[in-house]
Structure 1
Amino acid sequence: MTHTSALGASTGERPELGDWSSFEELARLQRDRLPELLDRALRSPFYAARYAAGGAPVTAGDFDAIALTGKQDLRDCYPFGLLAVDRRELATYHESSGTSGHPTASYYTDEDWIDLAERYARKWVGITPEDTFLVRTPYALVITGHLAQAAGRLRGATVVPGDARSLALPLARIVRLMVSLDVSLTWCNPTEAVMIAAAARAAGLRPDVDFPSLRAMFVAAEPMTAARKRRLSEIWGGATIVEEYGSTETGTVAGECPEGQLHLWADRAIFEVYSPETGRITPDGRGQLVVTPLYREAMPLLRYNLADDVEISYAPCPCGWVLPTVRVFGRAGFGYPVGERTVTQNQVEELVFGLPREFEVMFWRAQATPSALVLEFEAPEDIREHAARELGAAIDETLAIPHRITALPPGTLVPMDALTAERDILKARYLFGPDESWDKALMYQ
């Protein structure tokens, strides 16, 4: 079917959930789409050069022989080495966060954006015109904020561009917006959801009571344990926590079903697993996630190795979606030696958020040393020692490793000023009166 939306007219045909009833039909959808994708990819300088000597993939049968595209390839192609359309057709340009020191570029056409928004909008709780949707992720260069905004507008919601890492919108102001606007949906990472809750408490509000309009929180960017997910819902009065998984290079690649499983949107991309140890690429199992977006116009990627540690399964899910499931381990899947064991972030997180809710533990940190796990967390004074004893007992029982635990007063790990400050953001100013300080002339702060 041909789609139209508030984002503009669509010229492409993209499948929707329910357009297939078996994994065989899903594979047929992928194969049928491949020739057009391969043709488009070969228009980019990178893939044209890769296959200049011959052997270019042109049919679905050629797919398995395609070499992986890696992050270094994207860095080497910076900025437009993977551009497959005229630059006049581009709608937006983005870059990764550049944590390695070398950002990668990503760009999208209007048609790409309709595909991106449709995938993000596949939330089982729905995004509707009745919703006020607070977007609390960065807008600067990365795709996350723009992605949620596009999906919210696609479904008719009122979008509040809350940004993140912005001096203009400190946590205290975000809390005020959520109350004043009756925010019903939010989009942020799990840590930010806890930070907003702490800021609400600092303002004298109860996150589990004083935000009755909040029905769901969309979260991503951090692998999350079941214990952390439960705690987030408890903190926010039973709000549904819905996970999402993607990247600036690919957009959303997986979303959560009503049964709590992450499903790969395999009608819009081909997903594979790469084993660095063996060099084998398989459709399922554990290894690094390889993604081939099927509807990408501006920047086609063939077998792009996202390099995230995942596990893909084609086992049936009780939700009934005929889509593979994925478990995302990311950095949380890697561990450090403590004593005779290897300890992962997920293992520690399960124990911290497994503490009773009444202990009000929200912020913690840990350092794994060869001799002991050193862990600190914030807790109210009256239950601080009790919480430390319970956590220590849980570590003894579950991990059986040496440990040193310190319970700290609230405000130690996350300063109270970060939760309560309402910073003044001023426009540039040039003329001042005789009793005014001109020290901040020209400064936006």
Structure 2
Amino acid sequence: MSSDAPPATRRIGEWDSFAGLIARQDALLPAALAAAGRSPFYRRRRDGVPADRAELARYPLTGKDDLRDAYPFGMLAVDRSRLATYHESSGSTGTPTSSYYTAGDWAELIDRYARTRVDIRPADTFLVRTPYALMLTGHVAHQAALARGATVVPADNRSLATPYAKVVRLIHDLDVTLTWSLPTDTLLWAAAAGHAGLRPERDFPALRALLVSGEPLSPARRDRIARLWGAPVVEEYGASETGGLAGACPHGHLHLWADRAIFEVYDPATGRISTEGTGELVVTPLFREAMPLLRYHIGDRVEVTWRDCPCGWRLPVVRVLGRFAGPGGLTTVGLEDVVFRLPPEYGVLFWRAREQGSGLDVQIEVAPEHGAAAVKELTAAVGGAFDIDVRVEAMPPGALVPARVLTAGPEVMKPRGLFAAGEDWDRALRYY
């Protein structure tokens, strides 16, 4: 796959104001609308394809149900011979959503991913710990690292061949410099390292950054991970249907790539659409050949602000709040932030919460000597932050994440037909 970005793309800083950024969008939009005009899905829509930005602003949203109904190639806007890759969502709710990319799409995806504030270099060893399979995330990181000369360790987080203990060994023994994973994985690695007699902040000196995506990330959890590993945590945000949508600047703010897409904020309660505020994210990619999307309603709750940042990127700032919104303004990222503001010496890395009646049940793994203090402090903090009745329960280490999960070896075996006496031949012809 080519690593050269399409000539119409620009580097961060090649516009000098937010007005210049919007002018950039306006210059790119006609080509995006023309591409949508080649998509069977948009051609069949009663509204047709919008002709300009004013019509786009009134155009119906494209939702996940639309993508499911169009499975597998109803959104395809190029001849299938031009496709480079095909991807699907997990399909856990029924029919999966498809997404597909040409080589030209891939060049732009790679260029966008590599905007990370931590340069990917030929000297890097880059461990990729997000899904490969039919999803996009692992492949984007893999290709971006290869394009910049790095050594890639394709660890994949959906494979039984690379349990947590093995990932820790790889990071340690291979002098891994960069990792790409869910934020939660970095906490699981830290716990697994402890079981192996290693200290994350001391015994992994080559590690220079942890690149994370796939979950909302609160400032408190980001800081806790950075302190655990002694390395910065660099956030990215995106989706399989769109690729990367935002990245963190040197000041830690997550910026929408608004030179590559038009973003809107949708309030489902009122139907109101705006360019900033709190609501659900809507995106119109400006570089997409195979699968153009017009006003794609991702569904993630976000807070978007168009404000200056010390980084000087002149891109809107986004906070990803997650999809769950409970009573009292409760959100996943808000609750997480409160949990990770507990004193680090309490050792709280793993927690879970569930609505129960009008209140909230929270369980935390905490060392027994700190259990009473942690329960008292977290009960007060959550109740104060969200005006909700909360019941906090201290669980012993290993109750939420068992030690066997952190210490287990690979469970994969190849299919076999012939077994020795006493061997478990029920495992014949199966992968585990």
Alpha-carbon deviation of 1:396? 5.5
Alignment partner for residue 20 of structure 1, among 12, 15, 19? 15
Which residue is equivalent to 2:221?
228
Which residue is equivalent to 1:133?
126
Which residue is equivalent to 1:88?
81
Q: Structure 1 residues 18 and 370 mapped into 2: Cα distance closer, same or farther (>3 Å)?
A: same
1:264-300 residue CA offsets vs partner (Å, 9 max, x unmatched): 1111111112222333322222222111111100001
Structure 1 Cα separation of the partners of residues 17 and 405 of structure 2: 50
Q: Structure 1 residues 306 and 401 mapped into 2: Cα distance closer, same or farther (>3 Å)?
A: closer
Q: Structure 1 residues 437 and 262 mapped into 2: Cα distance closer, same or farther (>3 Å)?
A: closer
1:43 and 2:46 matched: no
Give the letter aligned to residue 218 of structure 1.
L
Structure 1 Cα separation of the partners of residues 269 and 369 of structure 2: 51
Aligned length, in residue pairs: 432
Q: Secondary structure at the match of 1:302?
A: coil
Q: Structure 1 residues 57 and 124 mapped into 2: Cα distance closer, same or farther (>3 Å)?
A: same
Q: Which runs of 5+ in 2 are unaligned?
A: none
1:102 and 2:102 matched: no
1:206-255 residue CA offsets vs partner (Å, 9 max, x unmatched): 11211111111111121122111111111112x10111111000000111
1:325 and 2:317 matched: yes
Alpha-carbon deviation of 1:432? 2.9
Q: Which runs of 5+ in 1 are unaligned?
A: 1-5
Which residue is equivalent to 2:326?
335
TM-score in terms of structure 1 length: 0.91
Q: Structure 1 residues 437 and 375 mapped into 2: Cα distance closer, same or farther (>3 Å)?
A: closer
Structure 1 Cα separation of the partners of residues 424 and 319 of structure 2: 55
Alpha-carbon deviation of 1:59? 4.0
After superposition, residues 131-170 of structure 1 pair within 5 angstroms as: 131-170=124-163
Alpha-carbon deviation of 1:55? 5.4
Alpha-carbon deviation of 1:68? 1.7
Structure 1 Cα separation of the partners of residues 22 and 348 of structure 2: 46
Which residue is equivalent to 2:370?
383
1:280 and 2:272 matched: yes
After superposition, residues 305-320 of structure 1 pair within 5 angstroms as: 305-320=297-312
Q: Structure 1 residues 324 and 437 mapped into 2: Cα distance closer, same or farther (>3 Å)?
A: closer
1:418 and 2:401 matched: no
Structure 2 Cα separation of the partners of residues 56 and 395 of structure 1: 47
Which residue is equivalent to 1:3?
none
1:204 and 2:191 matched: no
Q: Structure 1 residues 434 and 327 mapped into 2: Cα distance closer, same or farther (>3 Å)?
A: closer
Alpha-carbon deviation of 1:7? 2.6
Structure 2 Cα separation of the partners of residues 55 and 415 of structure 1: 54
Which residue is equivalent to 2:287?
295
Alpha-carbon deviation of 1:405? 2.5
Structure 1 Cα separation of the partners of residues 3 and 252 of structure 2: 32
Q: Structure 1 residues 281 and 385 mapped into 2: Cα distance closer, same or farther (>3 Å)?
A: closer
Q: Secondary structure at the match of 1:177?
A: helix
1:360 and 2:352 matched: no
CA contact (8 A) 1:288 1:305 kept: yes
Give the letter aligned to residue 203 of structure 2.
D
Q: Structure 1 residues 435 and 67 mapped into 2: Cα distance closer, same or farther (>3 Å)?
A: closer
CA contact (8 A) 2:212 2:233 kept: yes
Give the letter aligned to residue 24 of structure 2.
L
Alignment partner for residue 124 of structure 1, among 117, 125, 141? 117
CA contact (8 A) 1:184 1:216 kept: yes
Q: Secondary structure at the match of 1:13?
A: coil
CA contact (8 A) 2:6 2:104 kept: yes
CA contact (8 A) 1:44 1:81 kept: yes
Structure 2 Cα separation of the partners of residues 277 and 409 of structure 1: 41
The alignment-based identity, stated in percent, is 54
Structure 1 Cα separation of the partners of residues 6 and 372 of structure 2: 63
Structure 2 Cα separation of the partners of residues 278 and 432 of structure 1: 65
Alpha-carbon deviation of 1:437? 4.0
Structure 2 Cα separation of the partners of residues 346 and 288 of structure 1: 15
1:336-376 residue CA offsets vs partner (Å, 9 max, x unmatched): 3xxxx554333432232111111111111122323543222
CA contact (8 A) 2:40 2:76 kept: yes
CA contact (8 A) 1:8 1:110 kept: no
Structure 2 Cα separation of the partners of residues 258 and 10 of structure 1: 23
Q: Structure 1 residues 402 and 274 mapped into 2: Cα distance closer, same or farther (>3 Å)?
A: closer
For the aligned residue pairs, the C-alpha RMSD in angstroms reads 2.0
Give the letter aligned to residue 311 of structure 1.
E
Q: Structure 1 residues 14 and 419 mapped into 2: Cα distance closer, same or farther (>3 Å)?
A: same
Structure 2 Cα separation of the partners of residues 283 and 403 of structure 1: 35
Q: Structure 1 residues 347 and 24 mapped into 2: Cα distance closer, same or farther (>3 Å)?
A: closer
Alignment partner for residue 33 of structure 1, among 21, 28, 36? 28
Q: Secondary structure at the match of 2:426?
A: coil
CA contact (8 A) 2:3 2:110 kept: no
Alpha-carbon deviation of 1:157? 1.5
CA contact (8 A) 2:209 2:233 kept: yes
Structure 1 Cα separation of the partners of residues 235 and 21 of structure 2: 23
CA contact (8 A) 2:13 2:312 kept: no
1:106-159 residue CA offsets vs partner (Å, 9 max, x unmatched): 000111011111111111122111211111111121111111112212222211
Q: Secondary structure at the match of 1:362?
A: coil
Q: Structure 1 residues 121 and 358 mapped into 2: Cα distance closer, same or farther (>3 Å)?
A: same
Alignment partner for residue 264 of structure 1, among 251, 256, 264? 256
CA contact (8 A) 1:308 1:330 kept: yes
